[in-house]
Amino acid sequence: MESPIQSYLRQIHAEIAQLRDGKPYSTIPAMANVDPDNFGIALATVDGKVYEIGDTREEFTIQSISKPFTYGLALEDLGNEAVDAKVDVEPSGDSFNEISLAEGTGRPANAMINAGALTATSLIKGSGGQSGFKRILSTYSAFAGRQLSVSERVYESELKHGHRNTALAHLLRSFNIIEDDPTPVLEDYFRQCSVLVNCVDLAIMAATLANAGRNPLNGKRVLEIGPVERVLSVMMTSGMYDDAGAWISSVGMPGKSGVAGGIIAVLPGQVGLAVYSPPLDEHGSSVRGLATAQRLSRDMELHFVRAARTGRSAIRAAYDVTETPSGIRRNDEAADVLREHGRRARVIELNGDLLFAGTESMVRELSDLEDDVELAVLDLRRTDLVSEVALRMLALARQGMADAGRELVLVETDGSVAAALEETSGADGPGVPSFATRSAAVEYCENSLLVRYGTRLLLPDHVPVTASPALAPLDAADAEALAALMTAKQYGDGDVIRRVGLRFGGVYFITSGKVSSTSPGPTAERVKLNTLSAGMTFGELALGSGSRQETTVRAVGPVGVMVLSAEAITELEGSNPRLAIALWKALTRDAYTRVEQYLRESAVRIRE
């Protein structure tokens, strides 16, 4: 199943591709003949998942998007104080190539404008047998997770036509901001701007900043957290030059644009966004890139005010229902069906916040389900916050599952998510099955699988006592003889049939309805153990507990039982010892099956 996030990107790519404003950058002749229809979007999460649509593998030069990465390397090399002495951290309000230097000192306002970027490049020195530029290229490659290269054609064109940057470099030299001959600095700067990247590269580079300087693909640390913190701060206030205020208001993420048509945005702890589209606006930023960032920020709630908490996977655990049975005791045939087909129902436990990162991990898990999974149970009881974007993505995921013949089931305490999803599907749409406990949700899944892969007889409404699975080892005549010794009883919903502590009162054979059993927990609350339905028995386990009832058994709806009382059993042992022994053998066999089921369910509760 396609991820709802991928479907969403496909939709907005098609819509935003219709924008025809802006023109590609033409000041550098080697960049003038680019196809204006090129358009790619890539999202990379902090755990390395990449979503992409469009021309995401088309290479272009990084241009000014290089600036934060060189600035970060300078901070890593020299520390904040030394770098601050050469370049400030204040928004300039000027365009990217403005001659914006502090009066008297010549210090550039920040490292995102060209004057500050030239200064940052001048601070990168050769080390370990590598030249300054080789170290810059190695850093970019580490951010991208692959070896990058330089477009010599664009570099030569920049070197030949970059008169304004040449003038800026010499002006910086006159203030001793650049301390040596500016020519090598210019060459390195033009080379760093000419590094070839694609949209996916930039998304990974942005995600590395979002991941506190650690590349999400390979886990390697590229920058320490201190430089990352400074880089993202300056990007937030200055990365979009004289359009920074509008960017912060409408997008709300640290961002950086480049005149080749690239643009990146970083949501710390969650995701890196990259867009490539050559036509630029009057500020030198990609028209479609800006529109995409604004749309994603709004629809996915990526603005830093909404996404203030650190993002992480919301997946706590995932397993199929054979690992966590409902506690409903099944006959042998039904148990065989569930053992064979239980993998078709999968439980996904969620925790934390369902903001963008949590939502992404949730829908990724749903999208990546094996082809034979037919029911997915989302356990939402440990989630703290379910955002609007989570509801929208979950609605899309649910529709995608339905189209593929799958069903979504929820476990939640208040039913609010199910109600919200039902509202999105309209009054005529089917409701989302929602249960207060996981056992109830798993029971629903088990029953669905039994209907699909067994027969209706595996979920009977009424089971004569002679057909009880507990008496299966007996022949028909013996079963009839035992039935003749039993007494029929009826109970209403909620009635207590057996209470904890009572003496052994006989064996109860359920002929219709369901009962639930509970036992005292470690505190005052009662712990639900299981649910028994028609054809099952209870009461006999008291014989293994000092002849005392260990659980309280209540009717769930109307219940009919046949009771083989303690007195009737005593009489049977005297009058027909052979049949009594056959009965106890059958009940012992059945009890072992029940204990095994209790142990599995107890293991699940311990895990919780």
Q: What whole-number distance in Å separates Cα of residue 208 and Cα of residue 394?
A: 27
User: Measuring CA to CA, which residue among 467, 489, 464 is closest to residue 555?
Assistant: 489
Q: What is the pTM of this model?
A: 0.77
Place 606 in a pLDDT band, splitting at 50, 70 and 90.
very low
What pLDDT is stored for residue 307 in this prediction? Answer: 66
Same domain? For 86 and 145 the reply is: yes
Q: What whole-number distance in Å separates Cα of residue 572 and Cα of residue 460?
A: 30
CATH number for the domain spanning 410: value is 3.30.750.24
pLDDT in tens, 171-200: 999 999 999 999 999 999 999 999 999 999
Same domain? For 357 and 285 the reply is: no
Tokens standing for residue 30: 């080697």
Q: What whole-number distance in Å separates Cα of residue 234 and Cα of residue 314?
A: 30
Same domain? For 471 and 453 the reply is: no
Q: What whole-number distance in Å separates Cα of residue 95 and Cα of residue 172?
A: 18
SS3 string, 254-305, reads CEEECCCCEEEEEECCCEEEEEECCCECCCCCEHHHHHHHHHHHHHCCCCCC
Number of domains making up the chain: 3
Question: Is residue 305 in a domain?
Answer: no
**φ and ψ at residue 148, rounded to 5 degrees:** -100, 165
DSSP H stretches of helix in 61-181? 67-78, 80-84, 114-122, 132-144, 152-161, 163-174
Same domain? For 524 and 567 the reply is: yes
Element (H, E) at 227: helix 225-238
CATH number for the domain spanning 105: value is 3.40.710.10
User: Measuring CA to CA, which residue among 221, 232, 179 is closest to residue 72?
Assistant: 232
Same domain? For 328 and 452 the reply is: yes
pLDDT in tens, 501-538: 888 889 999 999 988 888 776 655 666 666 778 888 88
pLDDT in tens, 459-510: 677 889 998 878 888 999 999 999 999 999 999 999 999 998 888 889 999 9
Q: What whole-number distance in Å separates Cα of residue 579 and Cα of residue 592?
A: 20
Which class for 285: exposed (0-12), middle (13-18), buried (19 or more C-beta within 10 A)?
buried
CATH number for the domain spanning 579: value is 2.60.120.10
Same domain? For 344 and 236 the reply is: no
- Tally of helices (H runs) and strands (E runs) in the chain: 20, 19
The percent of residues above 70 in pLDDT, for the chain, comes to: 90
* Averaged pLDDT, 572-583: 94
What pLDDT is stored for residue 548 in this prediction? Answer: 80
Same domain? For 221 and 322 the reply is: no
Same domain? For 64 and 82 the reply is: yes
Same domain? For 278 and 389 the reply is: no
Question: Is residue 232 in a domain?
Answer: yes
What pLDDT is stored for residue 595 in this prediction? Answer: 64
Question: Which SS3 state, helix, strand or coil, does residue 403 take?
Answer: helix
- 553 neighbors 516 (Cβ within 8 angstroms): yes
Question: Is residue 310 in a domain?
Answer: no
Looking at residue 485, its amino acid is L
pLDDT in tens, 284-313: 999 999 999 999 999 999 998 876 555 567
What pLDDT is stored for residue 596 in this prediction? Answer: 63
Task: Read off the DSSP letter of residue 554.
Answer: E
The answer to which of 254-263, 377-386, 429-438 has the lowest mean pLDDT is: 429-438
What pLDDT is stored for residue 605 in this prediction? Answer: 45
Question: Is residue 307 in a domain?
Answer: no
- Sign of the CA dihedral 98, 104, 107, 109? negative
Same domain? For 171 and 267 the reply is: yes
Q: What whole-number distance in Å separates Cα of residue 100 and Cα of residue 92?
A: 7
Rounded mean pLDDT of the chain?
89
Better-predicted residue by pLDDT, 82 or 519? 82
Same domain? For 324 and 274 the reply is: no
The residue from 457, 486, 502 where one domain ends is 457
Looking at residue 511, its amino acid is T
Question: Is residue 308 in a domain?
Answer: no
Q: Identify the domain containing residue 415 by its residue range.
A: 315-457
Same domain? For 439 and 341 the reply is: yes
